[in-house]
Structure 1
Amino acid sequence: MNAAWAFPFIFIAGMLQAVGAVMNGVLNKSLVNPYLATAISFLLVLFVAIALFACMPRPLPTVADAANMPWWAPLGGIVGAVAVFAGLILIQKLGAGPVNGVTITANLLCSLVIDHFGLFHMTQHSFNGWRALGAVLMIAGVTLIARF
């Protein structure tokens, strides 16, 4: 992907994540059962992923690629499901702003720790005053959105 498209793509993905959380909240409210709503939501994602794979099956991993994969790499979907489930059951009660704001802020704070220590095979980016200021401003912004 061309680097010029990376940030607009991420921006649109972030907007869609906010919209998706609200849609999942309505799905949960309509179906009454959060586990059924979660299953339906992820089943649709599975169908889209299978369709995309069927259209673009290359490249495929080698046996060595699979053997060298860290044990925790496939767990990303399950980890992400926790955030989806939390939004699904809480967004109708708390509102889109606070739920998405706290989710994004928690994501950012955890990302700063991952970057600082180079966890999960990420390139290390040391924590500094500017990053700390950004984190404080995020927390302040979410606090304002949640309170008012």
Structure 2
Amino acid sequence: MNAGWIIPFIIIGGALQSCGAAMNGQLNKYVVNPWLASAVSFALITLFFLGASLIMPHPLPTREQLAQMPWWAVVGGLVGAVQVYAGLTLVNKVGAGPFVGFTVTAALVTSLLVDHFGWFRMQPHALNPGRIIGGLLLVGGIGLIAKF
């Protein structure tokens, strides 16, 4: 991917996440069973990426790379499933704005900790006053969105 598209792609992904939460809320409304609705959502994701990997099958990991992979690396999708399930079952109760606001705020505050402590083999980025103030502004912002 061209480096000039990185930030716009991330922004588009964030915008689509808001749409996805609302779409998943409707999926759950009509499928009725949140576990089945989650399975439908993930089945489409799985089929999409299986198709993409068939179209572009390279590169493939080596045995050495797979042997060096931490055990928790494969759990990322399951962790993401918690967010999908929350969207399916809760977005209609609180609204898309507060739902995404809480999601983004919780994700950013947690990301600051992941960066600071270098969790999950991330390169450490120390907390500093600017990062702390930015996190606090997000927390304050979601408080306002949820209240009004």
Correspondence for 1:113: 113
Measure how far apart 1:66 and its partner are: 0.5
Amino acid at match of 1:18: S
Scaled by the length of structure 1, what TM-score is found? 0.98
Residue 85 of structure 2 aligns to a residue in which SS?
A: helix
Is residue 2:89 matched to residue 1:79? Answer: no
Q: Is 1:30 paired with 2:47?
A: no
CA distances 1:70-121 after superposition (whole Å, capped 9, x unpaired): 0000000000000110111000111000111000100001100000011101
Tell me which stretches of 4 or more aligned residues in structure 1 moved more than 6 Å. none
CA distance in 2, matches of 1:42, 1:65: 26
SS in 1 for 2:59: coil
Percent same amino acid at aligned positions?
53
Aligned length: 148
Q: 2:126 is paired with a residue of what secondary structure?
A: coil
Alignment match, 1:45: 45
Which residue type is aligned with residue 70 of structure 1? Answer: P
> C-alpha distance in 1, partners of 2:93/2:30?
14
Structure 2 residue aligned with 1:17: 17
**Aligned partner of 2:78: which letter?**
I
- Structure 2: 5+ residue stretches without partners: none
Determine the structure 2 residue equivalent to 1:57.
57
Structure 1: which 5+ residue stretches go unaligned?
A: none
RMSD of aligned alpha carbons: 0.6
TM-score where L is the length of structure 2: 0.98
Distance 1:144 1:3 in 2: 35
Spell out, residue by residue over 1:35-79, the C-alpha distance to the aligned partner (whole angstroms, 9 max, x if none): 110000000000001000000000000110100100000000000
> Which residue is equivalent to 1:104?
104
